[in-house]
Amino acid sequence: MTTKEATQKEDTLIRNTTDHIQEVAKWMGVTIDPNNPHHQSHIPSFVNHRSHMSPAQKKAYETLKDQFVIPFDATQKLDYPTLFGREAPTILEIGFGMGETTAKIAHSRPEDQFIALEIYSAGVGAMLNRIDKENIKNVLLMQHDAVEVLVHMVAENSLSGVHIFFPDPWPKKRHHKRRLIQPPFVNLLVSRLKTGGYIHCATDWEEYAEQMLEVLSGHVGLQNTATDYAEKPAYRPLTKFENRGIKLGYNVHDLVFKKI
């Protein structure tokens, strides 16, 4: 790589927080004032509805939330060593569902620590119950919109990885703008990754997989670890939901890209 090419790459990758806020705001179709970041409204990648909680989920939610769920604060960056009590690679998971995969990965990678995001209370309650019953020490949760967390609370060049498993595919064309994996959002993710950090996505929706591959491949700061789709990494377990889809003939695609 020539000095000129390196400079151009650096100019592309090094953006300040205001640049990212305004870029994501344009994607979301709103104007965001970076000096007044609280609770910005935007087009979310999820439908916010009440989720029914089982008695066990409700109990875990009520008794463990204060201990394991990080509150959203647009004025504070996450301090990983303080939160976890140690220095370790930090992985952000976006949309952990009921937490089955999150728990298994946390057990298999005790040297890493995970901040897992989920908007629905039932999922948060289920994961809190897993943390308690399985004595999981390297996972903390957040119950807030991922875009706002990334913009306001995650420092640049601080994450070792990002997991986005089976995000909502929004299959109707008029809803494609709600899909999470879009160029402005990937720019934001890359800015929060350390050099060498990775983005791991998985989906069983063929057309969305193609979009993911196109968007991730098109980012100058990312390098595909495979020719196109990756082999499923050993750390990502097969869930009951995924096994059911495979039996029904759905192909599951993993994509793993590293920041260069």
**DSSP string covering 153-210:** TSPTT-EEEEEEES-----SGGGGGG-S--HHHHHHHHHHEEEEEEEEEEES-HHHHH
Look at the block and give the residue holding tokens 């000129």.
Answer: 4
The whole-number average pLDDT for the span 210-229 is: 98
The whole-number average pLDDT for the span 238-243 is: 84
Give catalytic residue positions. 168
Q: 201 - beta bridge partners? A: 164, 255
pLDDT score of 82 more than 80: yes
Q: What is the pLDDT of residues 160-183, one digit of tens each?
A: 999 999 999 988 888 788 899 999
The total of other beta-carbon atoms located within 10 Å of residue 217's CB is 13
The pLDDT, as a whole number, for residue 14 is: 42
Q: 94 - beta bridge partners? A: 117
pLDDT score of 4 more than 80: no
The pLDDT, as a whole number, for residue 24 is: 57
CA dihedral (32, 198, 167, 93) in degrees, to 10, reads -80
Q: How confident is the model at residue 243 (pLDDT cuts 50, 70, 90)?
A: confident
Amino acid type, 135: N
Q: What is the pLDDT of residues 104-160, one digit of tens each?
A: 999 999 999 999 999 999 999 999 999 999 999 999 999 999 999 999 999 999 999
Starting at the edge strand that comes first in sequence, how are the strands of the sheet with 113-117 ordered? 139-142, 113-117, 90-94, 159-165, 193-203, 253-259, 222-224
The whole-number average pLDDT for the span 205-223 is: 97
Average of per-residue pLDDT values in the chain: 87
Report the candidate in 25, 14, 45 with the shortest Cα–Cα distance to residue 192: 14
The pLDDT, as a whole number, for residue 30 is: 47
Count of residues making up the chain: 260
Q: What angle is formed at CA 203 by the lines to CA 197 and CA 206, rounded to 5 degrees?
A: 125
The pLDDT, as a whole number, for residue 180 is: 95
Q: What is the pLDDT of residues 6-50, one digit of tens each?
A: 545 445 444 444 555 556 555 555 445 555 544 454 555 545 555
Give percent of the chain with pLDDT exceeding 90: 72
The pLDDT, as a whole number, for residue 123 is: 97
Report the candidate in 186, 169, 179, 180 with the shortest Cα–Cα distance to residue 250: 169
Q: What is the pLDDT of residues 191-209, one digit of tens each?
A: 999 999 999 999 999 999 9
Question: Is the CATH number of domain 49-259 2.30.110.10?
Answer: no
Element housing 104 (H / E): helix 100-108
